[in-house]
Amino acid sequence: MIALPDFRMSVEEYLAWEATQEERYEYWDGEVVAMSGATRNHNRISGNLFKLLDDALGDRGCEVYIVDVKVQVEPNRKYFYPDVVVTCDPRENDPQWVQYPCLIVEVLSPSTEAVDRGQKFAKYRQSSTLQEYVLVQATQPGVEVFRRNEQGKWVLSEYSLGETMLLESVGVEMAIADIYRQVQFEAEAREA
């Protein structure tokens, strides 16, 4: 993510302008932030997750979006682009963004990991509808799932390559190996 120098605008200006851009830009309290490009592993992992979730949720009234659909994190203040987002909320009605996510997935890269773990997760946690936040490593196998428990606390579960995880927010079980199908870790390490 790259903040553009002195590139600030109102939310109305951002939403109108960003809809006409070829690149994606997030919105952080008036500051417009360019999204960085992704590696092949990042793209493959995002695609695998989208396919697994979309296949499982196709007839359940949930919608799965990938990469180019933003989430309204704070109305008029923050709009982020997660790698994968799921909403099962019938109140969704805006064609530009998801307002009521139940599951958000971020595929980690060295340039975005600190923000995904820190600032973004802090803001995502404020969503009353978000039940799970998933962080997926792109340079080595590893998945972290943060779940909101009955007390409203976020609990971490970690998964490795030979395991299966249940995404409780949507009732979908998947093998970690399926998330990493056709991912080449050695090539990713050379590209980094």
Give residue limits of the domains in the chain: 38-191
38-191 adopts what CATH topology?
Answer: tt1808, chain A (3.90.1570)
| pTM listed for this prediction | 0.89
Which strands make up the sheet holding 63-66, listed edge to edge?
Answer: 63-66, 84-87, 103-108, 132-137, 143-148, 154-159
DSSP characters over 48-79: HHHHHHHHHHTTTT-EEEESS-EEEEETTTEE
List pLDDT tens digits, range 98-112. 999 999 999 998 888
Cα–Cα distance for residue pair 81/67, rounded to 1 Å: 6
**190 pLDDT band (50/70/90 cuts)?**
very low
pLDDT at 19: 86
Could you say which DSSP state residue 95 is in?
S
Upper half-sphere CA count for residue 15 (Cβ side, 13 Å): 16
